[in-house]
Amino acid sequence: MGAADRPTGIWVGRLASAIVVVFLLADAAVSIFKPEMMRGEMEVTGFPPNLSLPVGLIMLGCAVIYPVLRTATFGAILVTEFLGGAICTHFRLGEIGSPPQLICFTLGVLTWGGLWFRDRRVRQILQ
């Protein structure tokens, strides 16, 4: 029985996953309910401000799918795809190593790290 199989490991996975979900929900809430707050950032990154709602809904979908163990692997794939797009957007703008890139990278690591500790099947596949 490895460390990830112990109750402590499972709780580490749940905590890491919860951090990801909280960030996704917070960002989705701003994008959906206060799109005017996103207007400047959307324009700077080259996205029309009217895409704030669809982007928020994508984040909300990821936040709903990822924590459910039955759909968590698919959710993790969606989350990392979304975060990868954000990283690439900032890379394209010349913002290499910027706080948004580092946050997205960290959330991506937490996404898969959390799933690693929560789901034995993922550990078996990735070993």
Per-residue pLDDT, 4: 63
**Does 126 fall in a domain?**
no
Joined together, the tokens standing for residue 123 give: 């550990």
**Does 19 fall in a domain?**
yes
Using CA atoms, how far residue 5 sits from 12, 30, 110, 117, in Å, is 11, 36, 18, 7
Q: Count of domains in the chain?
A: 1
| Span 9-44, pLDDT tens digits | 899 999 999 999 999 999 999 999 998 999 998 998
What share of the chain in percent tops pLDDT 90? 79
Per-residue pLDDT, 127: 81
| Span 61-85, pLDDT tens digits | 999 999 999 999 999 999 999 999 9
Angle between helices 99-118 and 7-33 (to 10 degrees): 140
**Does 122 fall in a domain?**
no
**Does 127 fall in a domain?**
no
**Does 32 fall in a domain?**
yes
Q: Can you give the pTM of this predicted structure? A: 0.89
Q: Give me the domain span that covers residue 112.
A: 3-117
